[in-house]
Amino acid sequence: MKGRKTTVLILVTLLSLSIPAAFSSNDSFAVEYQFNAVVVNDQWVIEGTILQEIPGEPLIPFYPARILLPQDAEVKDVKVKSGIPVIQEGFDIAWGQPPCTFSSAEAAEKVGKNEQIYNSNNWYPEKLYEVLSIESFRGFQILNVMLYPLQYKPKSKTVKFYLQLTVDVQFGKGLKNKLYRGLQGDKQAVSGMVDNPDMVAAYAEPAEAVPFLTGGPYQYIIITNSTLAPAFQELLLHKIDYVNRAKIIDVAWIYSNYTGYDNPEKIRNFIIDAYNDWDTEYCLLGGDIAAVPYRGFYIYANGYYDYDMAADMYFGCLDGNFDADGDHVYGEPNDGVDWLEEVFIGRAPVETVSEAELFVDKVINYELAVKPKVCQFHAAIIAPGNNPDSRTIPWNCEQWVPEDYTIKELFEQNGPITKDDWRDAWDGSYDGEPHVPPLTFQHAGHGSTTCYGISSSVNWCNADVSTLTNTFWPIHMSVACHSGNFKYNDCLAETYVKDDCGAIACMLNVNYGWFSTLDASKYSGDFLETMFRGLFDDGKEHLGELLNQAKSYWVSHAQSNSTYRWCYYEINLLGDPESPCLTKRRPVTPPTVIITNPPDGSIVSGTVEITVRIGPLDSVTPYKGKIDTVEFYIDNVLVYTDTVKPFVYEWDTTDYHDGRHTIYVKGYYSDIFRDDDIVTVNVNNSTEPYVRITNPQHGSTVSGIVLVTTETAAVDTVKFYINGELVYTCSSEPFEFKWDTTEYEDGTYEILAEGYQGNTPVAKDAIKVTVRNAV
């Protein structure tokens, strides 16, 4: 495949596990890795590995092993065993170069080789492995180990290749992880991150815990302020048809009910509780930084500093506190950084109600739209002579795109790129059929906060976004510097997301993007590649989960390399973290709440079972709406709440007077009102029949057509008389008749209602009214 990095192929990973149900203080297990090597242009290429690039030192391949530990295990020792190596001589292995920002590509300086290493007869690297850390994801402990299947002796130009490396892990009983929930979704998620997914089966169910937050579950939450909350209500109503309940939380409530050094810490502490008590999986930060604050991380790499890099991963990575030394400088190398999001985070970078309403409208329409099978790739020239070749960035992404997708390319190397070309690429009319907007739009070029280069001489800026006409919103990603810096009002990424055309989501850099002078696709480009790998190969289509998966491939690198750490911190998701980007969601028919017993107008007595059916009125039309709570009201007074199907209330009518009463029910899902129903019944717990005229009132003045109504008990027929003359007989509930007073002269009249059991009169009631129709 064109431009594909020959060092990134597919590694075959084998494993053998034997974990006792109750392990002792000295149990162990092993994970076996097998490697395949070929020689390309006098260089060893190890399938599935990545080149370690340290300035001046040999470019050595390594594999970042991610090993799931047994539940509650404490690692005692890690050893790596090797098979018999293959040894060959006569290889010149090149050396690494310093990382370079895209902003300083033209001034990039190369370094010479490390003479001490290259004149040595010692093997490089000295060891076959390096234990980096133990990372946690939703209570699952992951051991990160760098494996080096190849060693190099520079002076003699000798390589030693190991076809097999086996990681032996000795462990004992450790502490329980408070973030372990044992949910099936958590087990599936971690299985896609580790080399030994079979270990998941050894994890037991968690012990019951006393929740701090009541209610729930809420798989999806929106954190926003009171001004923007009404605008997000429509999104909540949409989401509850596809997630396991959802809820909006006001930041003011969080600030009042949670402690923390500052507001970002209070929000994170709340999200920890929501994760544990509500099984929360997705969190949308509903607003720009004025509505929902950010956490700034400290980062240093290659002579560059950022003391306040906006990193929303702080709110989703829930182990530790990112400030182990307590100096309130977050994300330092010694701060015990947590790298994997337990709760997937996205941000709606909106400031006003109208912006929030537009964001919500885009998300809903995007989720209900057919997703196009088109991917747009771009590369501007980033260095003189296009060296290194910026096209390797899109080419490495393209290798993960399925064969039934159309790949479109917009490369400056092939000719000048104009703003019209850029607009055409966004609406799908550039580079041939099909003329549909792309699902993904990848950019490679220089950038600033409000602009990025679409070619070496043409910048695309905030003001240009409003000229887009695309009718579908792609996912947008870029290696450009600063274009995702949402601390600025407004950065280019925010403008794309808030425009009525533009993008559905952006994953752009807050600060500098990075590359290697040997390989333009290294560092920032690596993260773009694993976005496509996560989407198409791993099947992580929900945007927040996709970004977390893409980053997860680089945890080991970020722990050991400051440039990768920089890149890891600076990529945020501006968009809804739960939105699926491969699936078209089907519109859901809203549910109806129907009282099935007692029938409307019936006579009831004693204890009555009020039953409710959830579904369409005709009981045939399919529906997918949800109801999880029904409230029962008698005469508009709440008497019972049922949260378990079938929804039933046993009503003791003897606590109520005989006569007419209303039964009213309200159905909710995720605390949101969905539908209601009402019936009227007559309570008769007395053996005595009666009739009472309820309209019109005695002594009132009437005109025109008057509906004469009654309240009855123990009668099956009511006869109505006007001044002693029988005018109407009613033999079914409700006992009433329409009296046309215009047929009578103005004056005083007696209305008599007489109730019968069979042919026997058993009760009656009479009132007097005044008819006045004359003008």
DSSP, residue by residue, 86-148: EEEE-----BB--EEEGGGGGG-------HHHHT--S-BSSSSEEEEEEEEETTEEEEEEEE-
Q: Can 220-316 and 593-683 be said to share one CATH topology?
A: no
Residues 6+ apart with CB under 8 A from 609: 597, 648, 649, 650, 651
Which residue, among 201, 297, 265, 371, has the nearest Cα to 566 in the 3D structure? 297
Looking at the domain covering 220-316, what would its CATH class be?
alpha beta
- Evaluate if residue 8 carries a pLDDT over 80: no
80-89, 297-306, 429-438, 697-706: which has the minimum mean pLDDT?
429-438
CATH homologous superfamily of 690-771: Immunoglobulins (2.60.40.10)
Q: Residue 355, SS3?
A: helix
Highest-pLDDT range among 106-120, 332-346, 425-439 = 332-346
Rounded Cα distance between 42 and 157, Å, is: 11
Sheet containing strand 406-411, edge to edge, reads 406-411, 374-379, 440-443, 475-478, 505-507
297-306, 388-397, 599-608: which has the minimum mean pLDDT?
599-608
Rounded Cα distance between 525 and 519, Å, is: 9
| Percent over 70 (pLDDT), the chain | 94
Rounded Cα distance between 151 and 52, Å, is: 12
Cis peptide bond N-terminal to 598, omega within 30: yes
Work out the average pLDDT over 4-24: 40
User: What per-residue confidence (pLDDT) applies to 260?
Assistant: 96
Higher pLDDT among residues 89 and 270, named by residue: 270
Supply the pTM of this predicted model: 0.82
User: What per-residue confidence (pLDDT) applies to 545?
Assistant: 96
pLDDT digits (tens, 9 = 90+) for 476-523: 999 999 999 999 889 999 999 999 999 999 999 999 999 999 999 999
What does CATH list as the number for 593-683?
Answer: 2.60.40.10
What does CATH list as the number for 27-202?
Answer: 2.60.40.3800
For 415, other C-beta atoms within 10 Å of its C-beta total 10
Q: Residue 771, SS3?
A: strand
Say if residues 246 and 233 touch (Cβ distance below 8 Å).
no
Q: What's the token pair of residue 492? A: 């280019």
User: Any bridge partners for residue 610, and if so which?
Assistant: 649
What does CATH list as the number for 348-570?
Answer: 3.40.50.1460
Q: Residue 565's pLDDT band (boundaries 50, 70, 90)?
A: very high
Q: Where are the domains of the chain?
A: 27-202, 220-316, 348-570, 593-683, 690-771
User: What per-residue confidence (pLDDT) applies to 1?
Assistant: 37
Rounded Cα distance between 747 and 770, Å, is: 5
User: What per-residue confidence (pLDDT) applies to 587?
Assistant: 83
User: What per-residue confidence (pLDDT) applies to 4?
Assistant: 41
Rounded Cα distance between 706 and 715, Å, is: 23
pLDDT digits (tens, 9 = 90+) for 201-237: 999 988 887 788 988 899 999 999 999 999 999 999 9
The helix (H) or strand (E) run that includes residue 296 is strand 296-301
Using DSSP, how many helices (H) and how many strands (E) does the chain show? 15, 43
Phi/psi class of residue 585: alpha, beta or left (left: φ > 0; alpha: ψ in -120 to 50)?
beta
Rounded Cα distance between 404 and 374, Å, is: 9
Say if residues 180 and 71 touch (Cβ distance below 8 Å).
yes
For 532, other C-beta atoms within 10 Å of its C-beta total 23
Work out the average pLDDT over 422-428: 95
Rounded Cα distance between 95 and 58, Å, is: 4
Q: Residue 714's pLDDT band (boundaries 50, 70, 90)?
A: confident
Which residue, among 85, 146, 271, has the nearest Cα to 560 in the 3D structure? 146
Chain mean pLDDT for the chain:
91
Which residue's structure tokens are 């890891």?
Answer: 568
User: What per-residue confidence (pLDDT) applies to 684?
Assistant: 84
Say if residues 344 and 548 touch (Cβ distance below 8 Å).
yes
Q: What is the DSSP letter of 537?
A: I
Residues 6+ apart with CB under 8 A from 347: 284, 285, 287, 292, 312, 486, 572, 573, 574, 575
**Could you report how far apart the first and last alpha carbons of the chain are, in Å?**
94
At 12, give phi and psi (nearest 5°).
Answer: -90, 115
Q: Which residues of 160-175 are buried (b: 16+ CB within 10 A; e: fewer)?
A: bbbeebbbebebeebe
Which residue, among 339, 369, 375, has the nearest Cα to 532 in the 3D structure? 375
- Evaluate if residue 5 carries a pLDDT over 60: no
Say if residues 750 and 756 touch (Cβ distance below 8 Å).
no
Say if residues 507 and 475 touch (Cβ distance below 8 Å).
yes
pLDDT digits (tens, 9 = 90+) for 272-299: 999 999 999 999 999 999 999 999 999 9
pLDDT digits (tens, 9 = 90+) for 622-677: 445 688 999 999 999 999 999 998 999 999 999 998 888 999 999 998 888 989 99
Which residue, among 542, 548, 449, has the nearest Cα to 492 in the 3D structure? 449
Pairing relation of β-strands 296-301 and 304-310?
antiparallel
| Percent over 90 (pLDDT), the chain | 78
In the chain, the amino acid numbered 591 is P
Q: Residue 6's pLDDT band (boundaries 50, 70, 90)?
A: very low
Say if residues 523 and 516 touch (Cβ distance below 8 Å).
yes
Sheet containing strand 27-34, edge to edge, reads 27-34, 164-173, 73-82
Q: What's the token pair of residue 699? A: 């002594």
- Evaluate if residue 107 carries a pLDDT over 70: no
77-91, 262-276, 606-620, 722-736: which has the minimum mean pLDDT?
606-620
The helix (H) or strand (E) run that includes residue 220 is strand 220-224
Q: Residue 322, SS3?
A: coil
Work out the average pLDDT over 532-554: 96
- Evaluate if residue 37 carries a pLDDT over 50: yes
Q: Which residues of 662-691 are buried (b: 16+ CB within 10 A; e: fewer)?
A: ebbbbbbbbbbebbbbebebbbbeeeebbb
Residues 6+ apart with CB under 8 A from 753: 691, 693, 708, 710, 718, 719, 720, 721, 735, 764, 765, 766
pLDDT digits (tens, 9 = 90+) for 354-384: 999 999 999 999 999 999 999 999 999 998 8
